[in-house]
Amino acid sequence: MQGLPSHRVKVVKIILFAAVLCLPSCKEEVSKVPEPVGEFERNVQPIFNRHCVECHSPRNAVRRLVLDSWESLLMGSENGAMIVPFYPKFSHLFQHLHTDTTLSPVAPPLMPIGRNPLSREEVMTIYNWIQNGARSRDGKVPFEDSYSKIYVTNQAADLVAVIDKRTGLLMRYVDVSAQGGISQNPLQSPHYVTVSNNKKYWYVSLIAKGEVWKFDAETDTLVAKVSVGSSPAHILCSPDDSTLYVSNFSASVNRITMVDATTMTVKQTSPPINTAPHGLALSRNGRWLYATAFESDRIFELDLETFSVRQFPLRRSGEPSTRNYRPYQVMLSPDEKKLFVTCNGDATFDGDLRIIDLETLDIKAVQVGKYPILMDYTPDKSRLYVANRNSNSVSVVNVQSEVVVATIENVGVQPHGLAISSDGLVYVSNESLIGFVGHHPTDGGLRAGTSAIIDTRTNQVIKVVEMLSFPAGVAIRE
Ligand code: HEC
């Protein structure tokens, strides 16, 4: 200690002495500092560190997939979400980790590519972590705070897929199966989905089961179920959200069932809507309800105050009497003076968009693609986008001039549902029953489907979101 003043030597000695004395308690102090104690940091991240980050790090992110943290893993790869919380079976990352098709469909190539595969224990550690919600260290389930969401029914999987609006990533599957746990036997077939005007709830029609289920839109948990009779297709909420109008798409029922949305009980049924009502529209004041009669080529107007009914035919004079129009969806024009009706068509007729003037009863036919299904307006209501199931396209119709101003090709296989967000993005579900344009494996599991996101500013598909079988109805909460 040469050169140090004696009082400094003393201070150093005291510090050393104190350090020795406090060793046990200091150790305790250290262990009190919050450590990465969550299951992810303790058990899952080390597996990725050992086997994956070599090729999936920020500097070398193969397929733009980064596996160095919970946050980056949850951002997925260039192909979208790699993890769906609670569903290891349908998490693409999990499908790359093993070859056991009883655990999940298997996606080649096996990861880590060209190395020894993970042990069964490592595979099951990742399985269990996803099954428990893919939680972060502080117990957070990915996207649990997400407000803006897109719901897409996966009709042949008894699930509703949920897309996070901000990132465009698939964030959840909601189980709407008979016994829970994705038992598809018998299929209940979620067909259509709608969000209440106050954004608190969403409703899904189980067309094979004859029920409508109500979900809390914040937590996506089941609130109540109601039995509404055979084949519930479309659902509309009254402007004050007190009533649901549900079409019974059945040639033996032929009615609209009215449900008290609070108690989830049937209040009333409409006079006959012959035959097979499907699409529904409601005037802004909530008084006039329009329904397509799919099997009789007419549109019905129901006055909800008097329950009187008017009908509008779809056939123009001179058109063949053998032709079936099969009207699917109906929407009111922005000024509520006209009806826009998608007609699926039949073997002799490709279908079209028919515009009925409610005053003059004039019918105009606009040639869109084949078998048009669902449609929606741009936020400024200047254009109408129509999903054409049998030509894999979306038609853009100028609402004022009533002409097709653009056709967006190769949207996916069999576009069905369509909804446009307030920022001008079109969400189109593709049934994908006769093909699939994604990269998920379809062996050893359910046939996959997609939804496309189109930007109305460019009319380009900007994203494809892979999901499960038969994507159909689409609804946006924002
Ligand atoms: C030696 C490099 C390498 C290692 C190590 C590796 N990967 Fe990969 N990973 C790749 C390559 C290359 C691809 C693209 C394969 C293809 O598309 O044919 C890929 C693709 C993937 C995909 C598919 C991404 C998509 O967009 O579909 C996932 C998921 C994945 N890896 C996860 C992992 C996991 C988990 C580990 C560790 C257990 C791992 N990888 C280890 C090279 C690697």
Strands (DSSP E) found in 261-350: 265-269, 277-282, 288-293, 298-303, 309-313, 327-332, 338-343
Atom in ligand 1 nearest the alpha carbon of residue 92 = 29
Q: Identify the bridge partners of residue 194 per DSSP, sorted by sequence position.
A: 203
Atom in ligand 1 nearest the alpha carbon of residue 63 = 26
Distance of alpha carbon 431 from alpha carbon 121, whole angstroms: 37
Residue 313: CB atoms within 10 A of its CB come to 13
Distance 135 CA to ligand 1 centre (A): 22
Instruction: Find tokens 């289920």 and name the residue.
Output: 213
Mutational pocket test of ligand 1: of 40, 65, 69, the residue with most ligand atoms within 8 Å of the beta carbon = 65
Atom in ligand 1 nearest the alpha carbon of residue 54 = 5
β-pairing verdict for 277-282 and 265-269: unpaired
Mutational pocket test of ligand 1: of 40, 48, 72, 111, the residue with most ligand atoms within 8 Å of the beta carbon = 111
- Collapsing DSSP states into helix, strand and coil, what is residue 323? coil
Tokens found for residue 87: 């569903």
Instruction: Find tokens 């909601």 and name the residue.
Output: 174
CB 336 within 8 A of CB 347: no
Atom in ligand 1 nearest the alpha carbon of residue 114 = 1
Distance 115 CA to ligand 1 centre (A): 11
Report the candidate in 157, 156, 178 with the shortest Cα–Cα distance to residue 84.
157
Atom in ligand 1 nearest the alpha carbon of residue 93 = 29
User: Which pLDDT value is given to residue 447?
Assistant: 80
Largest CA distance in the chain: 115
Instruction: Find tokens 């109906």 and name the residue.
Output: 330
Report the candidate in 365, 313, 323 with the shortest Cα–Cα distance to residue 342.
365
Mutational pocket test of ligand 1: of 43, 45, 63, the residue with most ligand atoms within 8 Å of the beta carbon = 63
Distance 182 CA to ligand 1 centre (A): 28
CA 451: distance to chain centroid? 8
Sheet of strand 338-343, all strands in order from the earlier edge strand to the far edge: 327-332, 338-343, 352-357, 363-366
User: Which pLDDT value is given to residue 170?
Assistant: 98
Tokens found for residue 334: 């922005």
β-pairing verdict for 404-408 and 415-420: unpaired
Quick one: residue 252, left, alpha or beta (phi over 0 = left, psi -120 to 50 = alpha)?
Answer: alpha
User: Which pLDDT value is given to residue 5?
Assistant: 43
User: Which pLDDT value is given to residue 442?
Assistant: 54
Distance of alpha carbon 429 from alpha carbon 414, whole angstroms: 8
Pocket lining: 125 vs ligand 1, CB cutoff 6 Å: no
Atom in ligand 1 nearest the alpha carbon of residue 48 = 37
Distance of alpha carbon 431 from alpha carbon 415, whole angstroms: 6
Pocket lining: 56 vs ligand 1, CB cutoff 6 Å: yes
Distance of alpha carbon 346 from alpha carbon 352, whole angstroms: 11
Query: Residue length, the chain?
Result: 478
If you take atom 6 of ligand 1, which residue's CA is the nearest one? 112
- Collapsing DSSP states into helix, strand and coil, what is residue 139? coil
Pocket lining: 114 vs ligand 1, CB cutoff 6 Å: yes
Pocket lining: 82 vs ligand 1, CB cutoff 6 Å: yes
Distance of alpha carbon 202 from alpha carbon 198, whole angstroms: 10
CB 247 within 8 A of CB 256: yes
Pocket lining: 51 vs ligand 1, CB cutoff 6 Å: yes
Vertex 469: Cα angle to 465 and 474 (nearest 5): 60
Pocket lining: 50 vs ligand 1, CB cutoff 6 Å: no
- Collapsing DSSP states into helix, strand and coil, what is residue 121? helix
CA 127: distance to chain centroid? 23
If you take atom 37 of ligand 1, which residue's CA is the nearest one? 52
Distance of alpha carbon 95 from alpha carbon 347, whole angstroms: 41
Within 13 Å, how many C-alpha atoms sit on residue 323's CB side?
19
If you take atom 11 of ligand 1, which residue's CA is the nearest one? 62
Mutational pocket test of ligand 1: of 54, 96, 440, the residue with most ligand atoms within 8 Å of the beta carbon = 96
Distance of alpha carbon 471 from alpha carbon 395, whole angstroms: 19
Q: Which residues, 6 or more positions from 204, have their beta carbon under 8 angstroms from its beta carbon?
A: 151, 153, 160, 176, 190, 191, 192, 193, 212, 213, 215, 235, 473
Pocket lining: 93 vs ligand 1, CB cutoff 6 Å: yes
User: Which pLDDT value is given to residue 137?
Assistant: 86
Distance of alpha carbon 81 from alpha carbon 83, whole angstroms: 6
Pocket lining: 95 vs ligand 1, CB cutoff 6 Å: no
Report the candidate in 26, 33, 72 with the shortest Cα–Cα distance to residue 49.
72
Mutational pocket test of ligand 1: of 44, 56, 129, the residue with most ligand atoms within 8 Å of the beta carbon = 56
- Collapsing DSSP states into helix, strand and coil, what is residue 373? strand
**Per-residue pLDDT for the chain (478 aa), expressed as one digit of tens each?**
334 444 444 444 444 444 444 444 444 444 455 554 688 999 999 999 999 999 999 999 999 999 999 999 999 999 999 999 999 999 999 999 999 989 998 999 999 999 999 999 999 999 999 999 999 988 999 999 999 999 999 999 999 999 999 999 999 999 999 876 555 678 999 999 999 999 999 999 999 999 999 999 999 999 999 999 999 999 999 999 999 999 999 999 999 999 999 999 999 999 999 999 999 999 999 999 999 999 999 999 999 999 999 999 999 999 999 999 999 999 999 999 999 999 999 999 999 999 999 999 999 999 999 999 999 999 999 999 999 999 999 999 999 999 999 999 999 999 999 999 999 999 999 999 988 888 766 555 678 899 999 999 999 999 999 999 999 999 999 9
Atom in ligand 1 nearest the alpha carbon of residue 82 = 29
Name the residue type at position 438. G
Name the residue type at position 165. K
Distance of alpha carbon 300 from alpha carbon 340, whole angstroms: 13
Distance of alpha carbon 157 from alpha carbon 88, whole angstroms: 15
Distance 158 CA to ligand 1 centre (A): 30
Distance 438 CA to ligand 1 centre (A): 17
If you take atom 12 of ligand 1, which residue's CA is the nearest one? 62
Distance 446 CA to ligand 1 centre (A): 22
Distance of alpha carbon 334 from alpha carbon 348, whole angstroms: 32
Structural domains of the chain in order of their starting residue, each with its CATH number? 39-131 (no CATH), 150-178+373-470 (2.130.10.10), 189-367 (2.130.10.10)
- Collapsing DSSP states into helix, strand and coil, what is residue 397? strand
CA 192: distance to chain centroid? 11
Distance 93 CA to ligand 1 centre (A): 8
Distance of alpha carbon 297 from alpha carbon 274, whole angstroms: 10
